[in-house]
């Protein structure tokens, strides 16, 4: 399929990636810098993107992570008191391609029917070669310590963590050791582990899963977010599978199964935990109200819990911020 | 299921007649509530005197009371019905205030009636400015700095503390009544004095000039699950009431951080307050630093929630009703997708633009500035995939003669002044300023409107320039269409015609595509029939319906003369078509309607009612025909152009519609038939007009042809007036000549509403006006069946109707208006379409005229003989005015329609029906003091009534002339000085002191009188019931002295009308 659009002057070459769509109506800066989108071409279903410009303080990592952007209209004239550049200027400064003027609704429906697929952006339409494998990426080289004044110590396993996960942790009176995803922390002294979000297929993170398995044996509080949730599931012995077109948006309703309280959540994931494969002792703690998929798992007796959505928001609703508090009290 | 309450019988309060600040949106919300309750097997009773609504149809509530929404009547109904519960949230501020009163009086407690949804103490917190500020402060939610005042001194003190300018707001009111920017102490004294006549408290607040205005629609269940269904951003910053603002959904200039911060504040606040069901929360947002203030929370369905519902596709009122019964959000399904949960926040993949519709020109003498009080009478909503596309669509939807921003009917002496001090045409002033070379920054500085919006308007201006200078190739044409330019506009720029541009456009393959509104931005498959068109796209979301489809043109925006009754007609047409096995397509642009609910048709196009768009849709759907006769004048005016373009029109041939609309052709026909009509002449210059005047004498009625509700119609009494008015009217409508006719005094007016098939009359209803001729039929008090007509008159009217119907070969609905004097009958006009009174005559006669008309248009044979002349009951339809919203407007009904809505009530006789109906227009008489001031020609008519009143213990107050006349005829009255005498005791002081329970002030036909105007205006501003018509005035006085009317027992509809209304 070819979807027509226009590219800015000066944008050359063919850019490929797995094409995914996000239904959020705000938060393009946060999404484009979300490491979970690394290597993907992100399409926004909301047609007007870039309205309030770009302020780098809204970024969720140090750079734009996507490999391409598709929109209906990218604002050339933006308006906001603290932004300092337009979306197009920002993309250009980091050599990120964009395709504009696309019938994004048609493309969304195409992806919904056919599933997430590889795509390319370019002046000449080129069929992308094969299926692009999403790749694990390394986001930090070596551990970093934060808030050393506190005695309680949390290990943040960074598979591509959004800044706001770190920020949310740092609002708590805990010391944080942020470690690369393959780093083995299980022989160190710590009070809890947070497995972060990140791009790609969770099974591409064997070392991370191994470490998590060891951590679970140690019985210390463990909290997984998004990819981290899948890794926790895999470590516990469950299986994961790829969703047809994923959940990416800010309006995903999730029900906490034991309280029947509902929350609107921010999501960005292409994989999910297979409920049937959950080992004994574990249960589904959150469920998606639209397709009944697993949105969180927890252990019945031990302090292990994870969520598939993003309690740290940015972008999206802040309904589940309290999960960080819950993690803290379990320490 | 977690249903805690199991009410078996629930009473829903409606909102009464449409008025400024409270319009058709409550027909939508009430209808959804009834549907939601019925689905649960609950017996529903509705109290609403608004007979033109869909919610009062016989397939809606189990029982309907067409009764006043006041404490005495509703108490009687509650005592009679003994419901388990009531719902207060679906009838606007009227229902809410009524509920609060009944609660305070202990009525609910005494009768053991539950209030469903938000508990009354919580509603009180949201309504009482003082309690509200305190409650929000408890959780650190910011409200505007200010203080609540219960008297003038407190208000002055508060203003001194804050410093002028300040914002004045009133508690317990709708549409921002009485609120506004106050610049100094004198202004504050005057305004507080006025406002406190109507409400117990006012709020003096910091004036947040230039802040953005943002609102969220919040839904919460009893378990505390809370969602923000929609947020909206106002184009117009703080200072302009949100009902007066252009509004976009979703917000456009809010960052993710701000969007979700305000969302979180909303959820926290609503949880803290404990609202159950639906509410909206309004914010002021400082664009410079992101600081915010909560302005207010409306703990009920509102105009904004209706808009949010239509903008997102989320059935807010339906879901709110279920939650009020104790259900939880996650237990409900998204009725658009049918599969996903109702517990979600819609994701839009389009932009919706709401634009207010004003009618200030028709409401003469009122100020054109807009501010924190509502003046608009309706609104439109446009959907597109870019802001310019939706914005220019919305402008066309308004039906104000504007083809977009570039072609509009206004002339500006000083556009910059109208930008900085906003008027109803500020949007066009902005465009004109750009044309004059002003920049976006200039305009932003004057208006504080966000530059994001202004840049888009500037882009439209640039496109206009390109269209003028570049050849019209496919690329440019597509860009222009994406910016919302109509074929007609492009034609005008290019010196070509709409038809030619369309032809070229189709040849170049530049076509709009049709997209669905599915609430989830395409994420899930949805079988939704809710559609719009856009030029930003390549593929269609739906396939044509084909030959089985019938397209119904809806009403467009509500304005004076076109209101909820045409929505009723459209909905009932669709209902009948569906019953006959047809697929229905509705096109409408008005978010305050039931016809735009997604389950009222097989396809709903939220679109412009313009020739271009109707053609686009008809070309795509390839249906069997278009119904143009049930949507009022906008739809009717499309008949001829659509027929010329070879589109099939169902019902009366378009040529015949034109024969009725075109005065010359219609008059020739009447002459041919030997049917009398008031002398008239079409004139194009002043000379001819003067000649005609000399021939027939003054007063004269002047009107341009092809108008609805007498727009630009007027009565002139002298040559000077004739001259002045003609110039004005001619300028208003350059394409159409002006018609002058003799204005007949002291005559009765009657109307026939009917349905015909192939020129044969199938059913008709004869109704009479209580007022003498000269009051616009939309402002008249109408009695059906007619009570005081000679049999000969009735026979003659029917005979004429048959002739007209036959000669125009009518198939479908029609309405003929007559004037009757001394047994002579003259035809004033004929509309070959459904009229305003169709729902009224249908619900009173027990025969659904629209259903019969639809069958007639489908060619279904109908031999039924209908009994519509003699009924066992009488019903009276009364106009609802909104003069208290329109500073300075003279509250006198005339040939120019001014009412914004209507109500109708039943009775065993005329007085019973009239009195109930009058009360239902939000009137009440307190005490037994009446002020009467009459012109000489009317004085003698009142002697009998005034005598009766006096015998009943009433005190009569008069001014000199009336006093002396009454005295001579044996009626004593208390004489007051006129305003201009500047002596006490004066009428004006008595009004301000609220001495009178009722005022009757009939203007003289002979001359204008400033003093009388001042009295009328004072009455309105001080909330004293006022009648300005001699006939209704006399009738009301009779009612007031009739002891039987004090003990009326409210009856429900089917106690009067047994027949089934929709067949």
Query: What's the per-residue H, E or C state across B768-784?
Result: EECCCCCCCCCCCCEEE
Of B227, B524, B537, the CB nearest to A106: B537
Is B820's pLDDT higher than 80? yes
| Spatial separation of the C-alpha atoms in residues A38 and A133, rounded to whole Å | 12
Read off the pLDDT band of B1007 (50, 70, 90). Answer: low
Q: Tell if the CB–CB gap between B521 and A48 is shorter than 8 Å.
A: no
What SS3 state is found at A174?
A: coil
| Spatial separation of the C-alpha atoms in residues A26 and A50, rounded to whole Å | 9
Mark whether B369 and B489 lie in a shared domain: yes
Q: What is the CA radius of gyration of chain B?
A: 28
Beta-bridge mates of residue B879 = B902
CB pairs under 8 A between A and B: 172
Write down how long chain A is. Answer: 331
Of A105, A290, A316, the CB nearest to B260: A316
Strand B212-220 and strand B202-206: pairing?
Answer: unpaired
Query: Is position B823 within any domain?
Result: yes
A226 included as an active-site residue: yes
Query: Is position B239 within any domain?
Result: no
Q: Tell if the CB–CB gap between A48 and B387 is shorter than 8 Å.
A: yes
B710, with CB counted inside 10 A (0-12, 13-18, 19+), is: buried
Name the active-site residue from A247, A269, A299, A310.
A310
- The mean pLDDT of B475-487, rounded to a whole number, is 98
Q: Tell whether B525 is within 8 A of chain A (Cβ).
A: yes
Of A26, A253, A262, the CB nearest to B256: A26
Which of B814, B816, B808, B825 has the alpha carbon at shortest distance from B672? B808
| Spatial separation of the C-alpha atoms in residues B393 and B400, rounded to whole Å | 13
Mark whether B737 and B756 lie in a shared domain: no
Structure tokens at B394: 């919305």
> What CATH number does the domain containing B161 carry?
3.30.1490.20
Structure tokens at B447: 């208006």
Structure tokens at A313: 């928001």
- The mean pLDDT of A150-158, rounded to a whole number, is 97
User: Which pLDDT value is given to residue B894?
Assistant: 78
Q: What is the pLDDT of residues B237-265, one digit of tens each?
A: 998 999 999 999 999 999 999 999 999 99
| Secondary-structure class of domain A144-330 per CATH | alpha beta
Query: Is position B852 within any domain?
Result: yes
Query: Is position B961 within any domain?
Result: yes
Q: What is the pLDDT of residues B440-471, one digit of tens each?
A: 999 999 999 999 999 999 999 999 999 999 99
Residue B923 sits in which domain range? 915-1047
Residue of A nearest to B449 (CA): A79
Mark whether B380 and B458 lie in a shared domain: yes
Q: What is the pTM of this model?
A: 0.95
- Written as one string, the DSSP assignment of A43-88 is EESSSEE-TT-B-GGG-SSSS---SEEE-SEE-SS---SS--B-HH
Q: What is the pLDDT of residues B825-879, one digit of tens each?
A: 999 999 999 999 999 999 999 999 999 999 999 999 999 999 999 899 999 999 9
- Cα separation values, B391 from A327, B404, B568, Å: 48, 8, 27
Question: Which chain A residues are closer than 8 Å to B267 by Cβ?
Answer: 319
Domain boundary among B65, B90, B124: B124
Mark whether B375 and B456 lie in a shared domain: yes
Mark whether B993 and B960 lie in a shared domain: yes
Q: Name which of A25-39, B10-24, B288-302, B674-688 the model is least confident about.
A: B674-688
Name the active-site residue from A159, A226, A254, A314.
A226
Domain boundary among B464, B495, B513: B513
> What CATH number does the domain containing B1020 carry?
3.40.50.1380
Which of A182, A278, A281, A276 has the alpha carbon at shortest distance from A229? A278
User: Is it true that the peptide bond before B165 is cis, omega within 30 degrees of 0?
Assistant: yes
* HSE, side-chain direction, 13 A CA sphere, residue B812: 26
Give phi and psi for B970, each to the nearest 5.
80, 20
CB B230 within 8 A of CB B251: no
CB B814 within 8 A of CB B831: yes
Task: State the virtual CA torsion across B920, B891, B729, B494 in degrees, nearest 10.
Answer: -60
Give phi and psi for A243, each to the nearest 5.
-75, 155
- The mean pLDDT of B976-1000, rounded to a whole number, is 90
A148 included as an active-site residue: no
Beta-bridge mates of residue A120 = A16
CB B901 within 8 A of CB B1040: no
Residue of A nearest to B478 (CA): A101
| Spatial separation of the C-alpha atoms in residues B745 and B981, rounded to whole Å | 32
Q: What are the structural domain ranges in chain A?
A: 15-121, 144-330
> What CATH number does the domain containing B378 carry?
1.10.1030.10
Mark whether B771 and B856 lie in a shared domain: yes
Query: Is position B909 within any domain?
Result: no
Degrees, nearest 5: CA angle B242-B243-B247: 60
- Check residue B822 and give left, alpha or beta (phi > 0: left; psi -120 to 50: alpha): left
Q: Tell if the CB–CB gap between A318 and B455 is shorter than 8 Å.
A: no
CATH 3.40.50.300 fits A15-121, yes or no: no
Specify the residue for token string 């304005």. B559
Q: Name which of B118-122, B430-434, B577-581, B725-729 the model is least confident about.
A: B725-729
Q: Tell whether A108 is within 8 A of chain B (Cβ).
A: yes
- The mean pLDDT of B967-981, rounded to a whole number, is 90
Q: Which residues of B316-341 are buried (b: 16+ CB within 10 A; e: fewer)?
A: bbbbbbbbbbbbbbbbbebbbbeebb
Q: What is the DSSP letter of B559?
A: B
Q: Tell whether A30 is within 8 A of chain B (Cβ).
A: yes
Strands of chain A, DSSP E: 15-22, 40-44, 48-49, 68-70, 73-74, 98-99, 117-121, 144-146, 153-158, 175-180, 192-195, 222-225, 240-256, 261-273, 282-288, 294-299, 304-307
Q: Tell if the CB–CB gap between A77 and B452 is shorter than 8 Å.
A: yes
B686, with CB counted inside 10 A (0-12, 13-18, 19+), is: middle
Question: Which chain B residues are closer than 8 Å to A252 by Cβ?
Answer: 344
Between residues B408 and B712, which one has the greater pLDDT? B408
CB B36 within 8 A of CB B318: yes
A321 included as an active-site residue: no
Specify the residue for token string 């994420």. B523
Mark whether B950 and B1037 lie in a shared domain: yes
Read off the pLDDT band of A52 (50, 70, 90). Answer: very high
- Written as one string, the DSSP assignment of B297-364 is EE-S--HHHHHHHHHH---HHHHHHHHHTT--GGGSB-TTTSSSBSSS--B-SSEEEEEEE--TTTST
Start-to-end CA distance of chain B, whole Å, equals 36
- Written as one string, the DSSP assignment of B485-496 is --HHHHHHHHT-
Which of B414, B419, B489 has the alpha carbon at shortest distance from B453? B419
| Spatial separation of the C-alpha atoms in residues B548 and B582, rounded to whole Å | 5
Q: Tell whether B288 is within 8 A of chain A (Cβ).
A: yes
Is A117's pLDDT higher than 80? yes
Q: Tell whether B451 is within 8 A of chain A (Cβ).
A: yes
Mark whether B26 and B94 lie in a shared domain: yes
Q: What is the pLDDT of residues B736-784, one digit of tens each?
A: 578 889 988 889 999 999 999 999 999 999 999 999 988 888 999 999 9
Of A26, A73, A316, the CB nearest to B386: A73
Distance (Å) from the C-alpha of residue B309 to the closest C-alpha of chain A?
17
Read off the pLDDT band of B13 (50, 70, 90). Answer: very high
Q: Tell whether A116 is within 8 A of chain B (Cβ).
A: no
> What CATH number does the domain containing B60 carry?
3.40.50.20
Start-to-end CA distance of chain A, whole Å, equals 51
Of B264, B452, B537, the CB nearest to A105: B537
Which of B218, B220, B217, B250 has the alpha carbon at shortest distance from B233? B250
Percent of chain B past pLDDT 70, that is, above it, reads 96
Mark whether B24 and B157 lie in a shared domain: no
Strands of B16-154, DSSP E: 43-47, 63-65, 85-87, 114-115, 146-149
CB B1024 within 8 A of CB B991: yes
Q: What is the pLDDT of residues A179-190, one digit of tens each?
A: 999 999 999 999
Write down how long chain B is. Answer: 1063
Residue of B347, B440, B517 for testing the chain A interface, max A β-carbons within 10 Å: B347
Residue of B nearest to A262 (CA): B225
Distance (Å) from the C-alpha of residue A32 to the closest C-alpha of chain B?
13
Mark whether B820 and B931 lie in a shared domain: no
Q: Tell whether A281 is within 8 A of chain B (Cβ).
A: no
User: Which pLDDT value is given to residue B1062?
Assistant: 47
Q: Tell whether B259 is within 8 A of chain A (Cβ).
A: yes
The count of structural domains within chain B is 7
Q: What is the pLDDT of residues B205-236, one digit of tens each?
A: 999 988 999 999 999 999 999 999 999 999 99
Task: State the virtual CA torsion across B113, B114, B118, B121 in degrees, nearest 10.
Answer: 60
User: Which pLDDT value is given to residue B430?
Assistant: 98
Of B288, B450, B538, the CB nearest to A79: B450
- Count CB atoms within 10 A of the CB of residue B544: 13
CB B450 within 8 A of CB B258: no
| Spatial separation of the C-alpha atoms in residues A306 and B1028, rounded to whole Å | 72
Q: What is the CA radius of gyration of chain A?
A: 20
Specify the residue for token string 């009636």. B113
Is B897's pLDDT higher than 90? no
């Amino acid at each position: 399929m070819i979807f027509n659009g226009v590219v800015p002057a000066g944008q050359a070459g063919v850019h490929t990636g797995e094409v995914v769509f996000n239904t959020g109506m705000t938060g393009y800066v946060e999404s484009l810098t979300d490491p979970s989108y690394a290597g993907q071409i992100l399409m926004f279903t909301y047609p007007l993107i870039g309205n309030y410009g770009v302020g780098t303080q809204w970024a969720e990592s140090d750079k734009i992570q996507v490999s391409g952007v598709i929109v209906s209209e990218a604002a050339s004239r933006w308006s906001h008191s603290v932004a300092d550049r337009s979306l197009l200027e920002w993309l250009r400064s980091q050599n990120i391609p964009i395709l504009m003027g696309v019938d994004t609704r048609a493309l969304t429906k195409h992806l919904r029917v056919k599933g997430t697929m590889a795509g390319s952006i370019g002046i000449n339409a080129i069929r992308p070669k094969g299926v692009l494998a999403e790749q694990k990426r390394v986001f930090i080289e070596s551990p970093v310590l934060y808030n050393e004044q506190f005695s309680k110590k949390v290990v943040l396993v960074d598979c591509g963590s959004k800044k706001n996960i770190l920020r949310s942790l740092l609002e708590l009176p805990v010391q944080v050791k942020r470690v690369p995803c393959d780093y083995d922390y299980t022989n160190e002294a710590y009070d809890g582990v947070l497995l972060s979000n990140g791009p790609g297929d969770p099974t591409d993170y064997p070392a991370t899963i191994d470490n998590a398995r060891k951590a679970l044996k140690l019985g210390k509080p463990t909290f997984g977010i998004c990819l981290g949730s899948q890794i926790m599931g895999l470590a516990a012995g469950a299986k994961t599978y790829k969703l047809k077109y994923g959940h990416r948006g800010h309006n995903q309703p999730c029900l906490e199964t034991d309280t029947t309280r509902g929350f609107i959540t921010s999501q960005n994931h292409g994989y999910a935990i297979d409920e049937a494969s959950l080992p004994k002792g574990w249960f589904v703690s959150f469920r998606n109200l639209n397709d009944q998929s697993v949105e969180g798992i927890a252990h019945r007796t031990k302090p292990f819990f994870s969520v598939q959505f993003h309690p740290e928001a940015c972008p999206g609703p802040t309904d589940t911020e309290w999960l960080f508090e819950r993690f803290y009290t379990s320490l | 299921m977690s249903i805690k309450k199991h009410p078996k019988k629930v009473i829903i309060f409606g909102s009464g007649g449409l008025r400024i600040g409270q319009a058709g949106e409550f027909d939508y919300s009430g209808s959804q509530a009834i549907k939601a309750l019925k689905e649960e097997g609950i017996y529903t009773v509705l109290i609403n005197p608004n007979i033109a609504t869909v919610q009062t149809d016989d397939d809606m509530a189990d029982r309907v009371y067409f009764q006043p929404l006041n404490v005495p009547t509703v108490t009687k109904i509650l005592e009679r019905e003994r419901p388990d519960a009531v719902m207060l949230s679906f009838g606007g501020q009227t229902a809410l205030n009524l509920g609060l009163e009944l609660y305070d009086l202990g009525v609910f407690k005494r009768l053991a009636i539950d209030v469903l949804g938000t508990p009354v103490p919580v509603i009180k917190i949201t309504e009482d400015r003082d309690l509200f500020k305190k409650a929000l402060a408890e959780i650190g939610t910011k409200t505007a700095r200010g203080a609540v005042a219960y008297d003038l001194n407190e208000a002055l003190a508060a203003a001194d503390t804050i410093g002028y300018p300040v914002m004045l707001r009133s508690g317990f009111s709708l549409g921002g009544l009485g609120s506004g920017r106050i610049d100094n102490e004198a202004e504050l004294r005057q305004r507080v004095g006025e406002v406190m006549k109507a409400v117990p408290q006012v709020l003096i607040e910091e004036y947040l000039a230039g802040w953005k205005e943002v609102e969220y629609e919040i839904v919460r269940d009893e378990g505390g699950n809370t969602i923000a269904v929609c947020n909206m951003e106002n184009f117009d910053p703080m200072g302009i009431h949100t009902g007066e603002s252009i509004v976009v959904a979703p917000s456009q200039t809010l960052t993710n951080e701000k969007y979700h911060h305000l969302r979180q504040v909303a959820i926290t606040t609503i949880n803290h307050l404990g609202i159950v069901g639906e509410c909206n929360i309004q914010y002021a947002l400082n664009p410079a630093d992101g600081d915010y203030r909560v302005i207010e929370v409306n703990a009920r369905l509102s105009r904004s929630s209706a808009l949010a519902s239509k903008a997102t596709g989320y059935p807010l009122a339906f879901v709110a009703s279920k939650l009020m019964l104790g259900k939880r959000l996650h237990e409900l399904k998204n009725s658009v997708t049918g599969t996903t949960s109702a517990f979600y926040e819609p994701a839009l993949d389009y932009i919706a633009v709401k634009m207010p519709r004003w009618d200030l020109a028709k409401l003469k003498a009122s100020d054109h500035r807009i501010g924190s009080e509502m003046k608009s009478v309706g609104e439109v909503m446009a959907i597109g995939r870019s802001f310019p596309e939706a914005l220019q669509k919305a402008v066309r939807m308004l039906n104000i003669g504007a083809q977009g921003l570039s072609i509009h009917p206004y002339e500006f002496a000083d556009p910059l002044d109208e930008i900085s001090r906003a008027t109803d045409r500020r949007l066009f002033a902005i465009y004109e300023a750009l044309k004059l070379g002003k920049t976006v920054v200039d305009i932003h500085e004057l208006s504080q409107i966000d530059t994001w919006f202004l840049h888009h308007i500037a882009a439209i201006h640039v496109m206009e320039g390109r269209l003028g200078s570049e050849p019209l190739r496919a690329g440019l044409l597509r860009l222009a269409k994406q910016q919302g330019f109509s074929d007609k506009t492009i034609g005008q720029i290019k010196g070509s015609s709409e038809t030619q541009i369309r032809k070229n456009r189709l040849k170049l393959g530049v076509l709009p595509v049709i997209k669905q509104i599915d609430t989830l931005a395409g994420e899930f498959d949805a079988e939704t029939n809710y559609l719009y068109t856009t030029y930003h796209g390549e593929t269609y979301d739906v396939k044509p319906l084909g030959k089985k489809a019938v397209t119904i043109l809806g009403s467009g925006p509500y304005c004076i003369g076109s209101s909820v009754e045409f929505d009723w007609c459209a909905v009932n047409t669709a209902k009948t078509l569906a019953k006959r096995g047809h697929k229905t397509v509705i096109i409408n642009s008005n978010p305050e309607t039931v016809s735009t609910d997604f389950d009222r048709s097989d396809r709903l196009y939220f679109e412009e009612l313009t020739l271009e768009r109707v053609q686009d849709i008809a070309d795509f759907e390839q249906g069997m025909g278009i119904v143009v006769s049930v949507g009022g004048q906008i739809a009717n005016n499309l008949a001829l152009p659509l027929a010329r373009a070879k589109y099939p029109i169902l019902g009366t041939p378009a040529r015949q519609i034109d024969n009725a609309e075109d005065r010359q052709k219609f008059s020739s026909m009447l002459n041919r038939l030997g049917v009398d009509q008031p002398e008239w002449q079409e004139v194009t210059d002043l000379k001819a007009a003067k000649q005609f005047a000399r021939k027939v004498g003054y007063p004269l009625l002047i009107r341009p042809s092809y108008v609805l509700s007498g727009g630009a119609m007027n009565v002139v009494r002298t040559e000077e007036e004739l001259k002045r008015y003609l110039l004005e009217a001619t300028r208003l409508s350059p394409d159409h000549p002006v018609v002058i006719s003799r204005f007949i005094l002291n005559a009765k007016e009657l109307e026939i509403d009917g349905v015909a098939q192939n020129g044969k009359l199938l059913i008709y209803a004869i109704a009479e006006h209580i007022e003498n001729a000269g009051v616009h039929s939309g402002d008249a008090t109408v009695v059906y069946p007619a009570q005081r007509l000679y049999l000969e008159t009735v026979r003659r009217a029917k005979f004429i109707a048959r002739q007209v119907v036959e000669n125009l070969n009518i198939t479908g609905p029609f309405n003929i208006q007559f004037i009757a004097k001394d047994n002579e009958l003259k035809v004033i006009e004929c509309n070959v379409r459904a009229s305003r009174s169709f729902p009224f005559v249908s619900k009173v006669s027990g025969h659904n005229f629209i259903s019969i008309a639809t069958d007639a248009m489908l060619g279904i044979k109908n031999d039924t003989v209908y009994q519509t002349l003699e009924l066992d009951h009488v019903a009276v339809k009364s106009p609802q005015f909104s003069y208290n919203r329109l500073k300075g407007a003279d509250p006198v009904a005339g040939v120019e329609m001014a009412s914004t809505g209507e109500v109708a009530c039943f009775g065993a006789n005329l007085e019973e029906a009239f009195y109930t109906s009058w009360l239902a227009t939000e009137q009440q008489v307190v005490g037994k003091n009446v002020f009467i001031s009459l012109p000489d020609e009317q004085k003698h008519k009142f002697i009998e009534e005034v005598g009766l009143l006096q015998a009943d213990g009433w005190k009569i107050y008069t001014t000199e002339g009336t006093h002396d006349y009454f005295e001579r005829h044996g009626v004593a009255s208390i004489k007051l000085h006129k305003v201009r005498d500047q002596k006490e005791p004066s009428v004006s002081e008595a009004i301000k002191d609220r001495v009178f329970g009722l005022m009757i002030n009939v203007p003289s036909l002979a001359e204008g009188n400033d003093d009388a105007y001042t009295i009328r205006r004072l009455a309105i501003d001080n909330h004293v019931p006022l009648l300005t018509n001699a006939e209704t005035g006399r009738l009301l006085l009779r009612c007031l002295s009739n002891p039987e009317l004090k003990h009326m027992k409210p009856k429900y509809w089917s106690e009067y009308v047994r027949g089934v209304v929709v067949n």
